[in-house]
Amino acid sequence: MDSCLTEPSGSLLMGYWRTLRRIAATHLFCPKQISFTEAQRKDIGSQMVSLIAFQGGDFPVRDILKKASLNNMMCSVFGRMYELCSSNRETEELRGLVEEGYALLGKLNWSDHLPWLACLDLQKIRFRCSQLVPKVYNFVNRIVKEHRAQLNSQSRQDFVDVLLSLQGADKLSDQDMIAVLWEMIFRGTDTVATLIEWILARMVLHPDTQAKIHCELDQVVGRSRPLMESDIHSMVYLQAVVKEVLRLHPPGPLLSWARLSISDTKIDGYDVPHGTTAMVNMWAITRDPEVWVDPVKFWPERFVCKGAGMDIQEFSVFGSDLRLAPFGSGRRTCPGKALGLATVNFWVGTLLHEFEWQKADHEPVDLSEVLRLSCEMANPLRVKVRPRRGC
Ligand code: HEM
């Protein structure tokens, strides 16, 4: 795996990266910033509903989810709001850059295992990275320049505005600002779409679970109005379902949660030499029968019933409990976890509030996985929907 796409400038030291993380946590992912973007999630959610209502018969849902997720990040990060049903050059260009980044990260790079091959670049990975990096730089730089020219002229608050407004010790160089903005787009887009596709797959495979969420929606929201983000905290079963899918299908089970040992050390009796890349296999932990009762069973109730498992209120998926840490844990835990989970809960709630989801005719749901940067369904999900509200 080549780090030049995901790390800011090579000269960044650990301490500096920590500063960037602090800036992201304080300014980009604080509760105020998350609630600032609520209207945007609602708008994109409604656009998804309109687009889905328009589909006749079976359709693959992935494209809609990926486009919605990309538009959402374009809006949070760059302040660009595009319609889901139309295509435009800027989104297409960004989608191409993100896709190329994923393709490169997902490739098995022989140089990672046989370092003496690195200088030969037999798979042309380094070459493709060197082509991609200036394209990303130019794309993001163009948007930063536009924001700088319009600073103080309007009241919007996207990530670029926030970073440009930083002063003193928090002020970032242009190069680091571009690296941070790219990292957000790159990490925040696919993870959300991938997780929602897995959740919808589980919904069509387990109609009884879907019916329970519908029942909860009818009780908490009723059919006369759309779902609002403030309803989510009352939707205990919906949250349990999202947690159960995060357990069985964590979008970033392996690749993104890696650590480099900076000195020789011993873990659990094993020698880990300096310079080793160690990966935490969350996928294996969440399927370990010593950790989970009936681990391969899809059973959201394990997060609801006190007697049978644990109380939803008590189980955090944000890294404090290593039985289920789909956003990583420790110093490098996902900074976008609260935003990511808020988006997934709200969009899944909305899609289920508006529609009943069913299997496509003649096409079984296939839960096979493929590992790129995220762990995706190997065969994109095809579904049929039936409107629930206003019918
Ligand atoms: C369901 C959604 C998401 C999942 C499952 C997820 C998962 C992860 C995981 C497993 C990691 C590695 C953590 C570690 O090494 O300990 C990570 C890192 C990261 N995520 Fe997320 N993520 C999600 C959404 C987002 C969003 C919405 C954003 C930004 C808007 C984001 C930004 C990042 C960044 C910047 C990192 C790298 C942090 C670093 O290297 O210090 N993620 N994510």
Segment 297-318, tens digit of pLDDT: 999 999 986 654 444 557 899 9
- How close is the Cα of 333 to the center of ligand 1, in Å? 7
Mean pLDDT across the stretch 147-155?
Answer: 73
Cα–Cα dist 280/271, whole Å: 16
CB of 8 closer than 6 angstroms to any ligand 1 atom: no
Domain map (residue ranges) of the chain: 11-387
177-205 pLDDT, tens digit each: 888 898 888 888 889 999 999 999 999 99
Examine the pLDDT at 225 and tell me if it is beyond 70.
Answer: yes
pTM of the model: 0.90
In short, whether 335's Cβ falls inside 6 Å of ligand 1 is yes
User: If you average pLDDT over residues 358-371, what whole number do you get?
Assistant: 91
7 versus 359: the higher-pLDDT residue is 359
Residue with the two structure tokens 């925040």: 188
State the Cα angle at 325 between 320 and 329, rounded to 5°.
Answer: 60
| Mutation probe of ligand 1 site: the residue of 12, 29, 191 with most atoms within 8 A of C-beta | 191
* pLDDT band at 360; cut points 50, 70, 90: very high
Q: Residue 296 has what pLDDT?
A: 96
Tell me the DSSP string of 171-239: ---HHHHHHHHHHHHHHHHHHHHHHHHHHHHHHHH-HHHHHHHHHHHHHHT-SSS---GGGGGG-HHHH
**Is residue 222 exposed (0-12), middle (13-18) or buried (19+ Cβ within 10 Å)?**
exposed
Question: Which residue has a Cα nearest atom 19 of ligand 1?
Answer: 334
259 within ligand 1 shell (Cβ under 6 A): no
**ipTM higher than 0.90?**
yes
Distance 313 CA to ligand 1 centre (A): 22
Instruction: State the pairing for strand pair 382-387/59-60.
Output: antiparallel
DSSP string, 113-158: H-GGGGGG-TT-HHHHHHHHHHHHHHHHHHHHHHHHHHTTSS----
User: How many angstroms separate the CA atoms of 367 and 172, rounded?
Assistant: 43
At 322, the amino acid letter reads L
> What is the C-alpha separation between 210 and 241, in angstroms, rounded?
9
Compute, in angstroms, the gap from residue 327 CA to the centroid of ligand 1. Answer: 6
Contacts 24+ apart (CB under 8 A), 207-213: 209/241, 209/298, 209/300, 210/352, 210/356, 210/357, 212/237, 213/237, 213/238, 213/241, 213/352
Most confident of 20-34, 167-181, 201-215, 312-326: 201-215
* Mean pLDDT on 269-286: 88
129 is in an annotated binding site: no
Looking at residue 8, its pLDDT comes to 44
Kindly report, residue by residue over 41-50, the tens digit of the pLDDT. 999 999 999 9
Among 262, 259, 254, which Cα is nearest to 287's? 254
Q: Please, what is the average pLDDT of the chain? A: 86
**Confidence band, pLDDT 50/70/90 cuts, at residue 15:** low
CB of residue 317 inside a 6 A radius of ligand 1: no
Q: Are 221 and 231 in contact, with CB atoms under 8 Å apart? A: yes
183 Cβ closer than 6 Å to some ligand 1 atom: yes
Identify any residues that bridge with 359 across adjacent strands, giving them in sequence order.
383
For ligand 1, pick from 255, 281, 283, 334 the residue to mutate: most ligand atoms within 8 Å of CB.
334
The pLDDT of residue 139 is above 60: yes
Q: Does residue 16 surpass a pLDDT of 70?
A: no
Tell whether domain 11-387 is in CATH 1.10.630.10.
Answer: yes
Task: Please determine, for residue 14, whether its predicted confidence score (pLDDT) is greater than 90.
Answer: no
- Match 């009723």 to its residue by tokens: 222
Nearest atom within ligand 1 for CA of residue 195: 1
End-to-end CA distance of the chain: 50
Residue 339 CA: nearest ligand 1 atom is 27
